[in-house]
Amino acid sequence: MSALHAVTFRPEETWSEATFDALLAQETTLAIGLIQDEDLFAMLVAQMVSGDAEILTLATHPAARRRGYAAGLVTHCEQNGSVGSLERWLLDVAADNHSAIDFYEKLGFRRDGRRANYYKRLEGDRVDAILMSKRLAGQAGK
């Protein structure tokens, strides 16, 4: 997971194996992924709290993009009973991550607000976070 993260995110945003270990040790963590030839090439990690699932990270290997894999992971969670009573997705995404914002909007997420200067870049720049959500009541686990 950390190897996929490293080829997907900026160096300052990359999570270590220890970070993933700690997340996976929590019962509230939902983690699903797609594997081919023992290589993880897409993953979704979310934190489930009382019906809300906050997407902590979502990544598709650069060589496997625009083939519906990330959309498949999200819709699998929405439609699969094993995820439980998922009622709402929550997430924050960097305001300059236009491809991810386009991706989430295509899947029906809406923009709820903005956190100013939330992300700090290696160069010292600050970037706003866009807060997004998608309500799912009636679609999953209900």
Ligand X SMILES: CC(C)(COP(=O)(O)OP(=O)(O)OC[C@H]1O[C@@H](n2cnc3c(N)ncnc32)[C@H](O)[C@@H]1OP(=O)(O)O)[C@@H](O)C(=O)NCCC(=O)NCCS
Rounded Cα gap, residues 101 and 88, in angstroms: 17
Work out whether 76 is an interface residue with ligand X (CB under 6 A). no
Please identify which residue in 10, 66, 114, 142 interacts with ligand X, judged by CB under 6 A: 66
Which stretch, 23-31, 64-72, 110-118, 126-134, contacts ligand X (CB under 6 A)? 64-72
φ/ψ region of 138 (left if φ > 0, alpha if ψ in -120 to 50, else beta) reads left
Q: Which residue is nearest to ligand X (CB)?
A: 99
Work out whether 41 is an interface residue with ligand X (CB under 6 A). no
**Least spacing, CB of residue 4 vs ligand X, in Å:** 9
Please identify which residue in 93, 129, 130, 136 interacts with ligand X, judged by CB under 6 A: 93
Long-range pairs for 47-52: beta carbons < 8 A, 24 or more residues apart: 48/83, 48/84, 48/86, 51/85, 51/86, 51/87, 51/88, 52/87, 52/88, 52/89, 52/90
> Which residues form the interface with ligand X (CB under 6 A)?
8-9, 42, 57-60, 65-71, 93, 97, 99-100, 102-103, 106
